[in-house]
Structure 1
């Protein structure tokens, strides 16, 4: 008996392809029946019919289904389709579905494996269909077929299904160049963003910034927030806040796109910048508003964003001294992450709870949380969370009187923050290294780290950070 989960095919098409949609479903059913004794790989066709009623723009729910799909089939005949009210300028729902899938195809962590477009024979197809076919013939001819009738559709789709069996395993990222009817180059913007983020991750901060800046100029909220994160890590808080506001304005102006996880992320991103500026009360207001935008939404994406907002909310409340509320926020996030199996994100909850235990004076419990987080994160590529976990482990060991052990954590934190181009993280790591070295009597090294910390905080205009480094230097000179 075949108990493997089927691969999902999202079927996108305007309203004039009813017979062709039925033919696609029949063809997939026939393929599954024919192959059931030879392979455990089956397909499941889904479409807009699987979405539930929502107060949001309906297309947002459809796009979430695409985010969970492995393949997309788009059918075009005579009609282009109705305008979906998209803030990105798409002129039909089917076009938005196609480009949503193309974006997913370029993301390594998304399940989308391949896309197939069928242009069905029609006496006078919409002009936009002709423009799309011309573009694809010039750039991506392997991704489409011209179909004369339903019988040919079933034959060519059957061949495609057999080809897709080989793509059911590991994801191969593909970056596609194609313009939507609006002329907004959303795919190039996404490619620039992904390249920029990867360059920053590889320690090429200058090249990464260049790509992120170009992406923000060309793209939409996702690109604006990506560049804002870079600027915030680099100490340019004003530039980061301006970009988060630009992203927020897109959702506010879009109206029906406001009650969505991406809109909530934009408000949360601005709250993150406010927190870096020391404006925690203002950040709490932004974060509470962000949660209302996705209240009651229980899909994976919405819950992931909710947990990230709860993380920030707990940190902001902790900064204002409201430890009881902060603990509740962190524990809620941890519970949701366990329920929705967001395993890697559990590390963020562990780090947050460890910091809270430090604040409460429960250092041994804090060490247990931070050690578990560090252990898990050393198995994955470096991220800001990896650096934060190492910083926390060093801080806890320093307070426990185990500064020599904390020194190795602080060195790892500095290396990680250099790799991800976080100036603020580097400054914190340098301060920790100075503190650990001073505690174990390595005063020359402590001075060197403290000088570097003071200089870096001066560049970022962080007077508080610079004063902490200066205090160590003053103490070492006594």
Structure 2
């Protein structure tokens, strides 16, 4: 059943459609009142006025509100709107809001269900409004409506609300082919990135690399960081460093606001590459720099801040500084508990559990992992759930209880297969092989290790291959 909370409609429009905005809000209110008691689906309309003050570019805060919305209604009449600034060269805030909604529409994990564009009749619309409508018509990229007057707007929006009710409980990602007025291929770059990331997860490393590389050429920091992640995972640390530097240069050149979550993620990504290169002290400094780019009072930046605190804790743990690591993990956990995000809290508990393993407190580590498993039990499978099961298996190994570790490793393997996470599947197989070897079952251990080696080879994961080859060498001896 669909959540009883209202589905959010973001209303995007220039300043010349004030009356039409009132019609949209009134139509939604009327629809909710008419359907009350007959349906558990209702809607709420939000817009730029819902955004709190921020030190960042205001349009970025508006875009974050769109990312939390289920639908976008975009109205154009005569005006195009004013330029918002930013990296993609959008020439109006409404245009950026429309394309942000289309980007969200293509992402399976985001709530965006549909984007509706309405062109209201006017004798002399701005040329950019005309050009957008012509492009949508020529490319058949998405449906739009021609609106004669307010009565027509009310009727057609009501029909749209009815159709949305039928799809409210599901998300089908859609990729739209449309160019903004800047001519930059925003949507194509994002779609290539999503396609590349999915291909990598499915074990098609080479095809995924090509898509991610093209996305990085066409796109901006998000695409460059995605390509850097692939490069680092597959052993090209020099290339990964260069890709993160490309993203950093974007912000240092002034193309986008430096004090922003995305800029912080760019610096943190480079710090992650430094860690992989064995330059942990340099990485710690870069992570600390990344944190200075975030406003602690900006709630929308808290997720990024917590992720960086996690990475900083792992870096301290790597150099044996367990107390600073603990402080970073606990700071992240405290922030996540304040916002009440159970899944994010579970991530912090996993980090603390790994720290306890390093500190030799296996009982506390097991308690954290069991807590995560209990929290996530009955929820849709995600990688964090699989990570908790892997950690439990590793704890049981350290406790000389490999037979007790086997069921956890097998559950992790099943979960990773359900979510098509090939990297997680390879790790689960490796830990399962370790458990079987420690329990005195070398043939079972070799079977799982060779399956893990095959997956790591298909993905081009050199680090994973070396681990498995070491285990196979032990089996040979």
Both proteins in one fold, TM over 0.5:
yes
Matched residue, 1:302: 301
Q: Any residues of structure 2 matched to 1:3-14 within 5 Å, and which?
A: 4-14=4-14
User: CA-to-partner distance for each residue in 1:192-213, whole Å, 9 max, x for gaps?
Assistant: 2222222222233333223222
Is the CA contact (8 Å cut-off) linking 1:106 and 1:175 kept in structure 2? yes
Q: Any residues of structure 2 matched to 1:290-329 within 5 Å, and which?
A: 290-299=290-299, 301-329=300-328
User: CA-to-partner distance for each residue in 1:270-325, whole Å, 9 max, x for gaps?
Assistant: 222211222221222222222222222443x4222222111111111112222222
How far 1:72 moved relative to its partner?
1.1
In 2: Cα distance, 1:209 partner to 1:94 partner: 33
Is there any run of 5+ residues in structure 2 with no aligned partner, and where?
A: none
Q: Any residues of structure 2 matched to 1:25-64 within 5 Å, and which?
A: 25-36=25-36, 38-64=38-64
In 2: Cα distance, 1:382 partner to 1:35 partner: 35
Matched residue, 2:259: 259
In 2: Cα distance, 1:119 partner to 1:322 partner: 60
Is the CA contact (8 Å cut-off) linking 1:86 and 1:254 kept in structure 2? no
Is the CA contact (8 Å cut-off) linking 2:141 and 2:178 kept in structure 1? no
In 2: Cα distance, 1:27 partner to 1:19 partner: 12
TM-score (norm 2): 0.85
How far 1:370 moved relative to its partner?
3.1
In 1: Cα distance, 2:156 partner to 2:443 partner: 73
User: CA-to-partner distance for each residue in 1:380-432, whole Å, 9 max, x for gaps?
Assistant: 5564x566545533432232122344466567778959964549x958975x6
How far 1:338 moved relative to its partner?
2.9
Matched residue, 1:136: 136
Q: Larger deviation: 310-319 or 344-353? A: 344-353
TM-score (norm 1): 0.85
Is the CA contact (8 Å cut-off) linking 1:51 and 1:62 kept in structure 2? yes
CA RMSD of aligned residues (A): 3.5
How far 1:128 moved relative to its partner?
1.4
Is the CA contact (8 Å cut-off) linking 1:193 and 1:212 kept in structure 2? yes
Is the CA contact (8 Å cut-off) linking 1:87 and 1:254 kept in structure 2? no
Instruction: Tell me the SS of whatever aligns to 1:344.
Output: helix
Aligned residues: 466
Matched residue, 1:340: 339
Whether 1:369 aligns to 2:368 is: yes
In 2: Cα distance, 1:178 partner to 1:92 partner: 16
User: CA-to-partner distance for each residue in 1:72-128, whole Å, 9 max, x for gaps?
Assistant: 111112221111111112111110000000111111222212111111222222221
Is the CA contact (8 Å cut-off) linking 2:221 and 2:247 kept in structure 1? yes
Is the CA contact (8 Å cut-off) linking 2:446 and 2:475 kept in structure 1? no
* Change in 2 beyond 3 A, CA 1:99/1:292: same
* Change in 2 beyond 3 A, CA 1:421/1:231: farther
Matched residue, 2:95: 95
* Change in 2 beyond 3 A, CA 1:142/1:356: closer
Is the CA contact (8 Å cut-off) linking 1:378 and 1:386 kept in structure 2? no
Is the CA contact (8 Å cut-off) linking 1:234 and 1:421 kept in structure 2? no
How far 1:30 moved relative to its partner?
3.0
Instruction: Tell me the SS of whatever aligns to 2:74.
Output: strand
Q: Any residues of structure 2 matched to 1:381-392 within 5 Å, and which?
A: 381=381, 383=383, 385=384, 388-392=387-391
Matched residue, 1:353: 352
In 2: Cα distance, 1:43 partner to 1:226 partner: 34
* Change in 2 beyond 3 A, CA 1:257/1:107: same
* Change in 2 beyond 3 A, CA 1:71/1:460: closer
Instruction: Tell me the SS of whatever aligns to 2:253.
Output: helix
In 2: Cα distance, 1:64 partner to 1:58 partner: 10
How far 1:249 moved relative to its partner?
1.9
How far 1:441 moved relative to its partner?
4.9
